[in-house]
Structure 1
Amino acid sequence: MGAPLAEPAVEGRLVRVTGLVQGVGFRPTVWRIAAAMGLSGHVRNDAAGVEIALWCSDAEFETFADRLKAECPPLARIDGVEATKLDGPLPAGGFVIAASAGGQVKTGIVPDAACCPECLAEVLDPKDRRYFYPFANCTHCGPRLSIVKAIPYDRGSTSMARFSMCEECRAEYENPADRRFHAQPIACPACGPRVWLEGPYRVVIGGASQTVIREAAALIGEGRIVAIKGVGGFHLACGATDEAAVARLRARKKRGGRPFALMARDLEQLAEFAELSGQERAALASRAAPIVLVKRRDSCGVAAGVAPQHDRLGFMLPYTPLHHLLLRALDGPVVMTSGNRSGEPQCTDNDEARRELAGIADFWLMHDREIVNRLDDSVVRRDGHDISVLRRARGFAPEPLALPAGFDGPIRALATGGDLKAAFCLAGGGKALMSQHLGDLDELKNQEAWGQALGLYRSLFDTKPDLIVADRHPGYRSTRLAMELARETAARFVQVQHHHAHLASCLAQHGRAIDAPPVLGIILDGLGYGDDGTIWGGEFLLGGYRGFRRLAYFEPVAMPGGDKASIEPWRNAYSHLRAAFGPDFLARLPADLPFVRALAEKPLGVLDRMIERGVNAPLASSAGRLFDACAAVLGICFERQSYEGQAGMEMEALASPFMDAAEAWPATSPKGPVICWKGLWEALLRDQASGVETGLIAARFHRTLIEIISRKAIGLTEENGVATVALSGGAFQNRLLLEGVLAELTVGGLEGLAHASVPANDGGLALGQATIGLALSLPRLSLGA
């Protein structure tokens, strides 16, 4: 007989797993796989991720690693697995889950996730102990960033620390085979947060959650406005089909014309009010549960005041058990708009909500779980290319974004973004961590919220930046905040041109390597501080992360009144037409045109003097102001717009039904660097004088703009030997413009890059700033790299 086969050599391995691996059921998954394979060792959380000590053979380790990737929990994301030799004897006792350890923070926090099907089934089951409990969750769903105070992510580091687990919850929490093993927000009616309803003069309606929630639903059904404390802040809710309630909410909140968000019970109910594609259904039902902009059905029954002059509705589905229970007690969808006074941050604290929402809400549906981090609802939309994020907040933040090749150096950057749609970015080591949307920094409360969020992120992720990056605009609050931080931290301070940052943001999310060949960037937005001292906003840039060259741009036109011109579109209409036809243009237009009569009543002499003397009338190549000017001429938001981009959005909605039939006005791409608009204005005014329908004129404007931009892009790529075009800036959140330009670029044989995971507007600016700052600080790659 031959010699017996040798047993495979067993040796110790220390396995480091990085990524989103805490609070998502990762350790019990490791335990289950290791136990099933009969392996010995332990698994535990620490500040760097998950540590696995494992004694096994080479073949067993390969099987273990393969199973770990294949059976990864739904909310987890494995970014890296590294194994090193571990000395020591084979431990007794099999495989165990060990206590968490501290250390340098490197791991990520999972975003808040929508209620999973298993938890929802329990909440709806009268026989389950969590029946009608509005805070049910497990390792696959529930609050994360909204309740966390520190890393490692354990119960003691969250706002659930004050709730002592009952024996039944403790048994689930400590059982590795249970779906709620180490689910840090675990709770039940016996030991967890509670819900109650408050009325005028602090009259409290308490008792069982079933009674409270059904009473809140009844009030909404009667036309009342109810403030509801959610997972990341308060909402204001009323019946979506109740015209009177919607009108009261809009008036009380001083909301202007900005659309309200809606919540439907489920996809079946939502489909009664909007047309849904497969991608939109998937986005609505995803764990992020964002607001999705969907096409409204004709005569759908939603109150006209929900989204005036818009053809799309912003719907979301319930993402907490509380929302599910409330919507099931109602006959139809509800308005679910942010619980704040317009322009201010969403309320998160009970006392704050009582104070700030007095006079807006009739009742308050409260609970006693603290919201640590404010999270607005994310907003997405399906464009021709994909689902794109318009506002990145709950459900997406703070999931790290992988940076492209070349950005994995040791330098750590903090980029402060812009003043509108503020969001900051922490980047380094091959990853970028974008904050949630934090509002506009012209509001003092938003500035305070920005500072609090930054302090928390730096604490959570133990970040001391080597580099602080900001916009070049000297008046931006985000720039001044960055300067102060640089002084406090002794970090190097770098300023980045606004539209260069937009370009880099688009490149980064498409994985464009740090030293990749340059691309053509078409950056269209409202305002950005230009290198020549003027305001830019209609730019054709050749470049990458390390630099750019301005190849072409929209004709700079004065903005009489400065910031007022961004609010009052008639000012831009006058200035654009004056630039195209001269100061006496009104005398040569038909006097019966509505916009001509309206302009004649304005103080045009004052505007003329501003423009001629260059006083409070800065030159701007702004695409946003061009849209405003056209909208005003067509009678859209002529006097003023109540929110940023309103005129352009309403014109887009007006144009949409006519796009298939509309042709571009005759136009040629200019041979020089400046794109002028005289030909466009001549054609538009000719159509208007001829009585062409306003929607068709709006569609022809879009078609012409698409053709001019595309022709210019194709010509510039041929001249400069590039084949890729990146589209960025807030104007590319116009779906008609984005899809039209992408289609023309494809026909021209070019690759078009559009935003997807990070907004094209200033909400994505910080990512571009961070990558530019890192690129300028890191060494260039060699040609052979």
Structure 2
Amino acid sequence: MRMAVRIDGVVQGVGFRPFVYGLATRLRLSGHVGNDASGVFAEVEGDAAATKEFLRAVTAEAPPLAVVEDVRSREIPPTGEAGFTIVASLAGDEASTLISADSATCDDCLREMADPADRRYRYPFINCTNCGPRFTIVRGVPYDRPLTTMADFVMCEACSAEYHDPADRRFHAQPVCCPACGPRLRLDLLTGGDTAGHGAQPGPRADIDDPLAAAARLLRDGHVLAVKGLGGFHLATDATHPTASATLRARKHREDKPFAVMVPDLAAARELCEVNDVDAELLTSRRRPIVLLPKRHGTPIADAVAPGNRRLGVLLPYTPLHHLLLAGVGRPIVLTSGNISDEPIVYRDEDVVDRLGAIAGAMLTHDRPIHIRTDDSVVRSFRRTAQVQRRSRGYVPEAVPLEFDVGRHILACGAELKNTFCVAKGRHAFLSHHIGDLENFETLRSFTQGIEHFRALFDVQPDVVAYDLHPEYLSTKYALDLSDVELVGVQHHHAHIASCLADNRERGPVLGVAFDGTGYGTDGTIWGGEFLLADLTSFRRLGLIDSVPMPGGAKAIKQPWRMAAAYLDRAYGDDVPDLGVVTRNAADWRAVRSMARSGVNAPSTSSAGRLFDAVAAVLGIRDAINYEGQAAIELEQVASPSERGAYEAAVMGDDPLRVSGVDLVRACVADLRAGVVPAVVAARFHNGVADVIARVCDRLRTSTGIGTVALSGGVFQNLLLLGATVDALEQRDFRVLIHSRVPTNDGGISLGQAVIAAHQRRAATGETTPVVAATSVSGSPLLLE
């Protein structure tokens, strides 16, 4: 019998055709295999049992980097063809094949790199079909060498032989190279750097005979280096050196935010941190993200690496260069994004001197260009599952599979902070790499260039463009400037809940708890402590944290003591107790209180993030922040994980319900004045927030009949709060949805925007068929699918 087979998914550039060739040959099947615009096609002919085994194994035994999403087959007339061949690629009308993410160096390549007899011994750019750069070097499709940044490297005879041999591990590995024909490493000493005494001369130099040995020596001596990775430059220094990390922190203008640490292997990670089975799997996966781990006491890591933090971001080497460099240094190294705070990562050699020259004393680089800058991904484990906090290198551009077809092509522009964008077509949502905070021209340029790159890679011509309702977001302004598209404005917190639904492959309706710092509400106020009844089409606001003023507007985000002033004024009026936060800010206290009372430059907010800020200031933890979310992060770090007490907050009103954040602040003050230590007060506050979330959801279940709760928003990055909230909800027999594949913070907003835009359009045009009965609350129907 003869079968025509179609395989869709991440099946190009991952060794799938030679895998099929080998599989068919082993099963003594004749036929052929090839690529086209949609994926891989094949025809196999032989006895029925062998053909059946082929269809099983094509998924079960697929190459390491392949993601087989669908296999379709149909019987066709036999041809009597002899042998099995790989045929030329076919052109198609619309590209729909998927591109692999960059992948960590495989074990086979590491063995070759360590073998003195191998021609790629200690070669920093060794790779094969199962590993190496992918997304960061792709300029266009189809994914062939001429459309990558390897185009200018002409393969030597030996590499070419491997590349064209279907039985070789490097068959059609587009980045294939060796010391004779591939990229070369060099070390440049930078003018103005800190490498005096190591041969530094005015201006860059690239004539150091052994760049790796020289770079390792500089790191051991406590210097800061710029190191070129897969998606951009990192800033590196010895993580155990007593002053190196503090020096890097001062030059980078990154006062408190933790640095990531790279260690050579899993055993080294376990020496520094507690590592469970899920953490170990994440650390050693081909994606090689930064994994947030509980620190062990007494580690040799310098205090300046992650000051005041119970966790450490740890990652293992993911390029051959990393492996060789760590072996040369012999110690853990700090590896943080190569940028000045608030700017995107540097990815071009020509920008290093201007943007990193005042930070790093030398640049360890090479001549293989990076086409698209991509930061490291950040993940953590929560109750035996992985949660992505920043989805970037190693994950992007792999699709987020959807449970429905979006119809027309969609672009979703995301939010302002932790921006990502998303393009969607068919049953795939392509969430972008981490762009950053859209607050300067360079980041905006990265955003627009990224959109154009994704449109080309996935052959997307957006008909529908979704955007956040906040009129001042640069992502919103970008969307509104587009022409000949259908524009869909999506409320920020609805997008959060929709993102959680899409992450869990569900459609709702759910009770959505969206807690974050800032989101533009449909009433023009600042939301952030929301209880929604939501699905992928619409939402209704059923509850909120009772609003308070934000004195000074955006200043209240940078200076949490202002939120403390607003909450304390609501709690005590003119009789505010004698607290440290009042004394520390006495010079401006009355003016800020007056601003809050008048409402002038003091917009109203229901933000949970601002409530956490207020409590952090009341407890004396943080009056002003150096990075987004710092006060809430440090409040979590202070809280005692063993404390089970919980403050009570009143739930007032009916439609919508209003949670008294003032009650929680008042309870914190009472305990502080009674001599309770801040660690216990902070824990009781966290537990109180979790308890009131569960109580509100209980009341809303009574009125809506909905027993599933979706948790989303940046506040739920707080593991203490997340754990307590899930416990409180599950104890009341709720089914709880949380994020895993996409970030719970604003990095997941664009996915929510995309699925909402798709469902709203389909509902409006009558293309949908309801599969869940519509739920009505106070006469306002929800449009459901």
- Matched residues in 1 for 2:359 and 2:525: separation? 42
The answer for the alignment partner of 1:685 in structure 2 is: 669
Paired residues of 1:45 and 1:152 also in contact (CA < 8 A): no
Alignment match, 1:599 = 585
Cα distance between partner residues in 2 of 1:321 and 1:628 = 43
Work out which of the residue numbers 33, 49, 72 in structure 2 matches 1:43.
33
Give me the whole-angstrom Cα distance separating, in 1, the residues matched to 2:399 and 2:204: 44
Match of 1:424 among 421, 444, 456: 421
Q: Which residue of 2 aligns with 1:5?
A: none
SS of equivalent to 2:271 = coil
Aligned match of 2:492: 498
CA distance, structure 2, for counterparts of residue 15 and residue 170 of structure 1: 30
Contact 2:29/2:51 (CA < 8 Å) preserved in 1?
no
Aligned to 2:205: 204
Question: Which amino acid is 2:425 matched to?
Answer: G
CA distance in 1, matches of 2:28, 2:461: 43
1:478 aligns with one of 475, 478, 492: 475
Q: Which residue of 2 aligns with 1:624?
A: 609
Paired residues, number: 755
Q: Is it true that 1:550 corresponds to 2:541 in the alignment?
A: yes
**In the alignment, which of 554, 559, 579 is matched to residue 563 of structure 1?**
554
Q: Does 1:267 align with 2:262?
A: no
Partners of 2:620 and 2:133 lie apart in 1 by 46
- Match for residue 158 of structure 2 among 140, 150, 168: 168
Contact 2:239 2:261 (C-alpha < 8 Å) held by counterparts: yes
Q: Is 1:458 aligned with 2:455?
A: yes
CA contact (8 A) 1:265 1:318 kept: yes
Residue among 647, 664, 686 paired with 1:665: 647
Distance of 1:115 and 1:157 partners within structure 2: 22
Partner of 2:199: none
Contact 2:651 2:660 in 1 (8 A): no
Task: Tell me by how many angstroms 1:601 deviates.
Answer: 2.2
Structure 1 residues 461 and 783: alpha-carbon distance in aligned structure 2, compared to 1, 3 A threshold: closer
Quote the residue 2:57 is aligned against.
67
Tell me the SS of whatever aligns to 2:256. coil
Matched, 1:304 2:307: no
Deviation string 1:284-307 (CA, Å, 9 cap, x unpaired) is: 101110000101111212111111
- What is the TM-score normalised by the length of structure 2? 0.94
Q: Which amino acid aligns with 1:597?
A: T
Name the amino acid aligned to 2:620. Answer: G
CA contact (8 A) 2:650 2:660 kept: no
**How far has the Cα of 1:669 moved from its partner?**
4.3
The alpha carbon displacement at 1:504 in A equals 0.4
Question: By how many angstroms is 1:345 displaced?
Answer: 1.0
Equivalent residue number for residue 442 of structure 1:
439
User: Of 88, 95, 114, which aligns to 1:99?
Assistant: 88
The residue type equivalent to 1:325 in the other structure is L
| CA distance 1:685–1:608, shift in 2 (3 Å) | closer
Q: Unaligned regions of 5+ residues in structure 1, if any?
A: 1-9
- The yes-or-no answer on 1:780 pairing with 2:764 is no
Correspondence for 2:16 = 26
On the 8 A contact 1:574/1:599 being kept in 2, the answer is no
Equivalent position amino acid for 1:498 in 2: H
Is contact 1:581–1:678 with CA below 8 Å preserved after alignment? no
Percent identical residues: 46
Range with greater deviation from structure 2 (102-111 or 314-323):
102-111
Q: 1:409 to 1:330 in 2, by over 3 A?
A: closer
Residue 101 of structure 1, CA deviation = 2.7
- Could you say which residue in structure 1 is the equivalent of 2:716? 732
In structure 2, the partner of 1:133 is 123
SS in 2 for 1:441: coil
Counterpart code for 1:780: T
Amino acid at match of 1:237: A
**Counterpart mapping for 1:407-422 below 5 A:** 407-422=404-419
Q: Deviations over 1:334-366 (max 9, x none)?
A: 110011111111111111112211110001101
SS in 2 for 1:175: coil
**392-401 vs 193-202, which moves further:** 193-202
Q: Distance in 2 between matches of 1:180 and 1:470?
A: 43
Q: d(CA) in 1 for partners of 2:176 and 2:408?
A: 38
Shift of 1:168: 1.3
How far did residue 596 of structure 1 move? 2.3
Tell me by how many angstroms 1:718 deviates. Answer: 2.7
Preserved CA contact (<8 Å) 1:670 1:712 = no
Which of the numbers 751, 754, 759 marks the counterpart of 2:735? Answer: 751
Q: What is the CA–CA distance in structure 2 between the aligned matches of 1:556 and 1:670, rounded to whole Å?
A: 12
Residue aligned with 1:437, SS: coil
Pick from 517, 521, 526 the counterpart of residue 530 of structure 1. 521
Residue 613 of structure 1 and its aligned partner are, at CA, apart by 3.2
Contact between 2:648 and 2:692, CA under 8 Å: does it hold in 1? no
Mapped contact 1:293–1:313 kept (Cα < 8 A): yes
Q: Contact 2:136–2:371 (CA<8 Å) still a contact in 1?
A: yes
Matches of 1:743 and 1:619, distance apart in 2: 31
Give how far 1:717 is off. Answer: 1.6
Q: Distance in 2 between matches of 1:499 and 1:569?
A: 22
Residues 115 and 783 (structure 1), Cα distance of their counterparts in 2 relative to 1, 3 Å cut: closer
Worse-matched range after superposition: 537-546 or 683-692: 683-692
2:107 paired with 1:121? no
1:109 to 99, 118, 126: 99
The amino acid that maps onto 2:389 is: L
Equivalent position amino acid for 2:31 in 1: G
Superposed counterparts of 1:146-161, under 5 Å? 146-161=136-151
Q: Alpha carbons of 1:17 and 1:546: their partners in 2 closer, same or farther (altered >3 Å)?
A: same
Question: Does the aligned pair in 2 maintain the 1:17–1:50 contact within 8 Å?
Answer: yes
**1:146 deviation in Å?**
0.5
Match of 2:599 in 1: 614
Residues 100 and 152, structure 1, Cα contact 8 Å, conserved in 2: no
**Cα deviation digits, residues 454-482 of structure 1 (max 9, x gap):** 10110111111121111111111111111
Distance 1:409 1:306 in 2: 44
TM superposition shift of 1:90 = 4.0
Partner of 1:258: 257
Distance (Å, rounded) in 2 between the aligned partners of 1:415 and 1:536: 21
Distance 2:341 2:387 in 1: 25
| Distance in structure 2 (CA, Å) of the matches to 1:157 and 1:91 | 34
How far apart are residue 67 of structure 1 and its match?
1.7
C-alpha deviation, 1:691, in angstroms? 2.2
- Once residues 346 and 409 of structure 1 are traced to their aligned partners in structure 2, the CA distance between those partners, rounded to angstroms, is 33
3-state DSSP class of the match of 1:151?
A: coil
Q: Is the 8 A contact 1:419 1:478 kept in 2?
A: yes
The answer on whether the counterparts of 2:187 and 2:208 sit within 8 Å (CA) in structure 1 is no
Normalised TM-score (structure 1): 0.94
Give, as a single letter, the amino acid of the residue that structure 2 aligns with 1:680: L
Q: Hey, what's the Cα distance between the residues in 2 that align with 1:381 and 1:292?
A: 5
CA distance in structure 2 between the partners assigned to 1:563 and 1:668 by the alignment: 28
Where 1:531 maps in the other structure, the secondary structure is: coil
Displacement of 1:206 in angstroms is 4.4
Give the letter for the 1:678 counterpart.
Answer: V
CA RMSD in angstroms comes to 1.7
Partner Cα distance (1:359, 1:79) in 2: 47
Deviation of the 1:435 alpha carbon: 0.5
> 2-side partners of 1:203 and 1:766: how far apart?
41
Equivalent residue letter for 1:443: N
Measured against aligned partners, the alpha-carbon deviations of 1:521-579 in whole angstroms (never above 9, x if no partner) come to 00000011111111100000012011111111001111111111111111111011112
- 1:301 maps to a residue whose letter is P
Q: In structure 2, the residue corresponding to 1:346 is in which secondary structure?
A: coil
- CA contact 1:264–1:318 (8 Å) conserved in 2: yes
CA distance in 1, matches of 2:313, 2:568: 35
